[in-house]
Amino acid sequence: MTNWKIKEKKENISTELLEKYNPIILQLLQNRRLEKLEEIEKYFNFDYEKDLSDPFQISGMKRAVERIKTARDNSLAGGEKIAIFGDYDADGVSASALLYETLLNLGFKDVICYIPDRQLEGYGMNEKSINYLFENNVKLIITVDCGITNIKEVKEANKRGIDVIITDHHHAPEILPEAYAIINPNIPNSGFVFREMAGVGVAFKLAQALYKKISPEKEDQLKWSLDLLALGTIADCVSLLGENRTLVKYGLIVLSKTKRAGFLEIFKVGRIDISEDKIPDTQKVAYQVAPRINAAGRMDHANVAYNLLIEKNPLLAREMALEVESNNQKRQKITAEIFREIQVLVNNSFKDKKFIFAENPNWPVGILGLVAGKITEEFQKPSVILQRQENEFVGSLRSISEINIIEMLGKCSDLLFRFGGHSQAAGVTIKQENIEKFYEKMSLLIEKELAGKEIMPAIKVDCEITLDDINWEFVSELKKMEPFGNGNEEPVFLAKSVVISDLKIVGNGSKHWKLSLMSDSGSPKIFDAIGFSLVEKFPDLKKDDKIEMVFNIQEDEWSGNKKIQLNLIDLRVD
């Protein structure tokens, strides 16, 4: 049974706030730690021109910009080549494309992009990449969405006369690389006003600073890169409060108007309904656009996605989009197969253990993070899923909220060849001789951390309302809270004493409930509700059942007609 965790209701809300806002909306804002009038008004009334922080407040920014400007001056004289070194996920690919286009727009002549092969090179800088860039006369490397753990590789680049500027947003180790400049919200005294930016957000701040320094009259052009910023920020699941909220809000608008051939072909090939009349929400980007960009790096090489994003020719973009679509379909199929394989393993061997471990030489590295996420969600246990290679194991970890996985890996760092990531997701490389010690140590650390804690699936509920509270005015107020995402999640409501006035099973495979619902208060209001994949969990629902339900409120449009629809997350029959 899933636990419903209802957030504490705030009492004694000021008269000033109640005069301006619906009390339910105020509860939702409080759940997002917004309680002062000034904070709330800024939350609702953000502005691209006024709300962006000064990039030159950021530690390392001035030094980085001066070095890049020098590289431009040298480049114009035919002397200095710049390499953007990106990551292979949607955040890294979009950051690479954003910075590449920025440099071209600012008159840089000799710029290349290097994205490592996930299978052959792994995450971040490596000896092979440094050799390649040195042989290609690169004098300056700018990393995006990676680099903060590459101490050895930066030292090697320095030896070869290559300066390295690191832009990254991942967890910063105690000892930092000896880079020319480091721009990362997670280093001490970083200077970031908003610290929870994705890699593409950090790259955007560098781009913003470069425009201000080199061509302030062109700074407006940066707005047209916000489609890339929205993609990477949403895909990386960082907070959508603060500066990210402003950037993503406007980025979704730019995405709806995009002239970028790559995006337009992705929309056509994938039948994704995004246009100037259909501004996408974050869910559409997260579940339809981002997985296609990610699929390139997972199944083949991320260069396909990167080249697609910067391609100007629609015919070439079409070919790349078809390749990306094919990779995405393969990714879905293989992920499902490996997930089922590990399900059997867990049920046989890990029922009484707190940490799930699985490895196989034939599992593609690129999808191990997806599989780990599904396994952790299914069993509510941290997991590590690895590909066994000739001399090492490479793979991904995912965690539950009670375990900070990057801290756990830090305590095992003596056994790891390479690691990096966030509190809930990380990547790791382990030498073969250390694999058993690693599993034993991680298991002990996790067992100790979870001792005495009952772990069960939980749905966080914002507040309880009645069906009578729901009307178009309320839906309009909810829409103003968008874009939804991490830190600003789509509101989840609880309603009790709800009666099923009609119901039917819909969808391929007869998986989904479609219900007509009304309050037992006698109100004539009837709401349509959809319960995706809930038929198996609640097979015996019938007309006139009284239920409690946890749900979102959404606006549904079909053939030009709009209606309010309730999206069921979970329910209980009284």
pLDDT at residue 75 greater than cutoff 60:
no
227 pairs with which residues across the strands? none
Give yes or no for residue 1 having a pLDDT over 80. no
| Claim to verify: residue 412 and residue 548 sit in the same structural domain | no
Domain membership flag for residue 327:
no
- Of the three residues 403, 425, 450, the one that is the final residue of a domain is 450
The residue out of 450, 480, 504 marking a domain boundary is 450
Boundary of a domain, candidates 424, 450, 476: 450
d(CA 113, CA 303): 9
Tell whether 342 is covered by a domain.
Answer: no
Q: Which of 57-61, 540-544, 564-568 has the lowest mean pLDDT?
A: 540-544
pLDDT band for 203, please (50, 70, 90 cuts).
very high
Angle at 238 between CA 232 and CA 239, to 5 degrees: 125
Query: Does residue 329 lie within any of the structural domains?
Result: no
344 within some domain: no
Residue 54: CATH number of its domain:
3.90.1640.30
Is 0.85 topped by the overall pTM? yes
List CB contacts of 450: < 8 A, sequence separation 6 or more.
354, 402, 403
**CATH number, domain containing residue 388:** 3.10.310.30
210 and 74 both lie in a single domain = yes
Collapsed DSSP state (helix, strand, coil) of residue 438: helix
Which segments of 160-289 does DSSP mark as H helices, in order? 199-214, 226-235, 242-256, 261-270, 282-284
Q: Are 123 and 116 in contact (CB under 8 A)?
A: yes
Is the domain of 377 the same as that of 261?
Answer: no
Give the pairing of strands 418-421 and 425-431.
antiparallel
- 265-285 residue pLDDT tens: 999 999 999 999 899 999 999
- Structural domain range at position 474: 3-43+459-573
Confidence label for 118 from pLDDT (cuts 50, 70 and 90): confident
Reported as a pLDDT band with limits 50, 70 and 90, residue 74 is confident
pLDDT digits (tens, 9 = 90+) for 476-527: 999 999 999 999 999 999 999 999 999 999 988 778 999 999 988 878 889 9
Type of residue numbered 175 = I
Over residues 547-551, mean pLDDT:
95
What's the CA gap between 489 and 513, in Å, rounded?
A: 24
Q: Are 439 and 468 found together in one domain?
A: no
pLDDT tens-digit profile of 150-175?
Answer: 999 999 999 999 999 999 999 888 89
Q: Do residues 295 and 280 share a domain?
A: yes
What region, left, alpha or beta, does residue 122 occupy, with left being phi > 0 and alpha being psi -120 to 50 degrees?
left
Average pLDDT over every residue of 306-322: 96
12/56 same-domain check: no
- Give the pLDDT confidence of 392-451 residue by residue, as tens digits: 999 999 999 899 999 999 999 999 988 888 888 999 999 999 999 999 999 999 999 998
Give how many domains the chain has, as a whole number: 3
Residues 565, 532, single domain; the answer is yes
**433 & 488 share domain:** no
In the structure, what pLDDT confidence band is assigned to residue 553 with cuts at 50, 70 and 90? very high
pLDDT range class, residue 120, cuts 50, 70, 90:
confident
Residue 297 has pLDDT above 70, yes or no: yes
**Strand 356-360, strand 383-388: pairing:** parallel
For the stretch 352-381, pLDDT in tens is 899 999 999 999 988 999 999 999 999 999
pLDDT in tens, 55-64: 999 999 999 9
Confidence of residue 76 (pLDDT cuts 50, 70, 90): low
Q: Which residues have C-beta within 8 Å of that of residue 235, sequence separation ≥ 6?
A: 89, 90, 91, 94, 198, 285, 286, 290, 293, 294
Does one domain contain both 469 and 355?
Answer: no
pLDDT at residue 18 is higher than 90: no
- Domain CATH for 495: 2.40.50.460
115 and 154 assigned to the same domain:
yes
For residue 341, being part of any structural domain is answered with no
Whether 328 is in a domain gets the answer: no
Query: Mean of the per-residue pLDDT values for the chain?
Result: 92
Sheet holding 392-398, edge to edge: 356-360, 383-388, 392-398, 425-431, 418-421
User: Which structure tokens are listed for 469?
Assistant: 């509270």
Note whether 122 and 154 are same-domain residues. yes
**In terms of domains, do 463 and 540 share one?**
yes
Does residue 338 sit within a domain? no
Residue 370 included in any domain = yes
